Amino acid sequence: MARVLVTEEIAESGLDLLREGGHEVDLQPGLNGADLIAALEGASALIVRSATQVTAEVLDSIEGLLVVGRAGIGLDNVDVRCATRHGVMVVNAPLSNSISAAEHTMALLLAQARCIPQAHADLVGGSWNRSRWQGVEVADKTLGIVGLGRIGRLVAERASAFGMRVVAHDPFVVEESIRNLNISMLDLIEVVEQSDFLTLHLARTPDTVGLVDAELLALAKPGQRIVNVARGGIVDEQALADAIRSGRIAGAAIDVFAEEPTTESPLFDLEQVVVTPHLGASTTEAQDKAGATIAEQVLLALAGDYVPFAVNVDVGEAPEAIRPFVPLAEKLGEVFGALSGRLPDRLDVEFRGQVGEVDDRLATLAVVKGLLNRVVAEAVTYVNADEMARERGIDVRTISSAVATDYLNTITLRSGDLALSGTLAGMAAEARIVMIDDHPVDVRPSDHMLVVRNDDRPGMVGLVGTLVGDAGINVANMTVGHDEGGSTAVMVLATDQPVGADVVENLAGCEGILSVQAVDLI
């Protein structure tokens, strides 16, 4: 029997599942900081929602914790990286709120179109102003959806029932997979230019933060209304407020904000804006699903079984020989996606050495999981990674060989002219990147890296080092790989901070530099 600490309200059905599994459920709501650390003494599992902050300080201060369960999707309040270092599994409930989020999107869209909250406040305040709150119909209007994952598709289905024309942008979805939804796939600018209503369903990543900015809003169809029930920070709130004041944007309905919780935003002063305090998942049904799902995942983790919705440690019943390589495989997928900048049509995953002699399906899924995690809004797990890859038209092919080459074991990813290899090195089995584009390198994957392809001639290392150093960026590690012909080289710099776009641009303009890519894995 294990003790499960629960610090926030979850569905009673989930608590009952834990008790039926023979575990002690310890309800202590409202814990954080030192109080949380004290309460975790002797606990094997922790279940939270969004208010409990499972920080590095908390995780560094405790022992014996096996799993942290988040009864919902987002993991902003859990330091997953630190949990992984401590061997603590982190699980969530990624499918629990899809319907609720889609319905809230439609509720906000309709409320915005018909000025419902504003008219309500006016009327209960003593004013009868029918003419002031004239709205617009949604029938025969164009709805633009940016991000066509599970929630985006549910919104498309519901919008179609209201007689809306639906256009969408998602470079990671193949049209064949949404053919039955009657959606026109366009590029982002076309969607923004054509949409009467624009709704966002994206993950918050370095690529999507500030996506809806002043520049994009300037291209919007006049009178457009914007809905965001995805993640805060995707919309530049100040730029949106300015666009509404100028009349370019007719209004907005916003459920999520760059900083949460918050009671201040430039949008709050505008009567054309409808806001809610992150209610996308706040339904009885979603919370019931989240509670039951997270209890099931925690039970599996405590039993040492395969855990489908683990987000960091998930090796299930994989062969012992492949288990240490699963985190490496996922990291290679992340780096490959960052270097490619897009999802490949075909991805070859090659296992050589001892890893080429055993069942490598889990490691292959880990590669796909790492690749997709950078670009899709939904949580990617070992259960849905394969399906998501198919939906996005990725043909993943595995090549296995017991014959080793330069290292005892390697995992190699290839697509088009991009290639990447990794291995585990030394007694500590440290992850290493050992090849990029058939240039041998040797560097530990870092949160921030700079990959430079250049002519193989004197002075190139000094050139790159000087420009990076002049920008105030510290280089923690560096490796240079030369091709066999001696005409080109690849430099990989691990840095202590992100390399800005200005540095990348300056480097790319230098003679002898063939390409420059900044890789940020946070």
Chosen domain end from 314, 335, 364: 314
HEC string of 172-197? CCCHHHHHHHCCEECCHHHHHHHCCE
Short-list 126, 130, 40, 136, CA closest to 88: 40
pLDDT at 456: 93
Domain-embedded: residue 11 = yes
Pairing of strands 346-353, 395-401: parallel
Chosen domain end from 267, 292, 314: 314
Residues 260 and 211 in one domain: yes
pLDDT at 374: 75
Domain-embedded: residue 327 = yes
- CATH number, residue 467: 3.30.70.260
Domain-embedded: residue 188 = yes
Which residues in the chain land under pLDDT 70? 176, 306, 313-318, 377-379, 381-383
Residues 371 and 476 in one domain: no
pLDDT at 173: 82
Residues 248 and 328 in one domain: no
pLDDT at 174: 73
**Counting Cβ atoms within 10 Å, is residue 428 exposed (0-12), middle (13-18) or buried (19+)?**
exposed
pLDDT at 315: 46
Residues 108 and 63 in one domain: no
Tell me which of 70, 231, 352, 414 is the catalytic residue: 231
Chosen domain end from 404, 436, 468: 436
Domain-embedded: residue 441 = no
pLDDT at 381: 67
pLDDT at 304: 72
- Output the six-digit token pair for 189: 């600018």
Tell me which of 49, 150, 169, 278 is the catalytic residue: 278
Q: Active site includes 3?
A: no
Q: Active site includes 439?
A: no
The pLDDT tens digits of the residues spanning 250-293 come to 999 999 999 988 999 999 999 999 999 999 989 999 989 999 99
Residues 339 and 459 in one domain: no
Residues 477 and 406 in one domain: no
DSSP conformation letters of 457-505 = -TTHHHHHHHHHHHTT--EEEEEEEE-TTSSEEEEEEEESSPPPHHHHH
Residues 259 and 111 in one domain: yes
pLDDT at 452: 97
Q: Active site includes 137?
A: no
Q: Which domain holds residue 256?
A: 98-275
Residues 145 and 269 in one domain: yes
Domain-embedded: residue 455 = yes
Residues 116 and 188 in one domain: yes
Residues 228 and 353 in one domain: no
Tell me which of 20, 175, 259, 260 is the catalytic residue: 260
Domain-embedded: residue 490 = yes
Q: How many domains would you assign to the chain?
A: 4
Domain-embedded: residue 52 = yes
